[in-house]
Amino acid sequence: MVTPFQFLSACDEVGTIMSKELAPLIGTAYGGEELCIGADNTPTERIDQIAEDIVFTYFREKKICCSLLSEEAGMVDIGGESGIAYLDPVDGTFNAVAGIPFYALSIALSDGEKMIAGYVMNLSNGERFTAIRGEGAYLNGEPIQVSTETMLDHSAMSVYAKKFDMTRMMELGHKIRRWRLLGASALELCYVACGRLDGFVDMRNTLRVTDAAAGILICQEAGGRVSLPDGSPVVFADNVVSGTCLVATNRVIHRKVIEYLRS
């Protein structure tokens, strides 16, 4: 298996290629054309397919890992010696197709037991969030840390919920200062990591390992805490059809959020 540093370097090259190749499709109906149903049982749009193909081609050629799990293709053997990569080729597809500059390439690397490296690139502006387990988190190569906000009524958080949970989530929304729904969970987790948000709460039970693996590692390495809504550790199924809920915060306010969700 390649080293975590080599993995992040490969992701940088893939991200650069992808940014150029996807640029003509951003904000277009052509980019949003539905081509098929992906392994995650949702429509695969043209922009997703092109982005995924770029990653698969590069990772196969460079033998970055043994297997790659992607929302569109599922688990695929790509010929490397070991390691599993978890890919969301375009996190925030709606944003990309609508021309909203908040969508990302998200890739995490596992040694088979734990995530050891995470990479998230905002494809609209080139910002790169990276982490290697035990070595901290970075934005464009500079160290980042979560915020130090201690008060819910001063905090800014992304909060998602299913329709039947919206009343309860609105109550949480009234307890925080700013409620944001930005539409790309990998980037939102990274925004917690660098202190732009104080928390990220997703109660839809739809987040999969490909959506969140990289962002979770980056958030944790920046000092954040990530858990299920009851405070227990997050454990993902190794597929793209089983989802879960998630709470990620700057750690300081985590207990307060969990206590509210339990009430």
Binding residues for Mg(2+): 71, 88, 91, 211
Look-up of token digits 């149903």: 37
Instruction: Give CA separation, 77 vs 14, 69, 108, 123, 153, in Å.
Output: 18, 9, 16, 26, 48
Please report, in range form, the residues annotated as the binding site.
Answer: 71, 88, 91, 211
Q: Which amino acid is at 236?
A: F
CA angle (28, 243, 248) in 5-degree steps: 90
Name the β-bridge partners of 158. 180, 200
Which residue has tokens 């200062």?
177
As a dihedral over the C-alpha atoms of residue 205, residue 209, residue 211, residue 214, rounded to 10 degrees, the angle is: 130
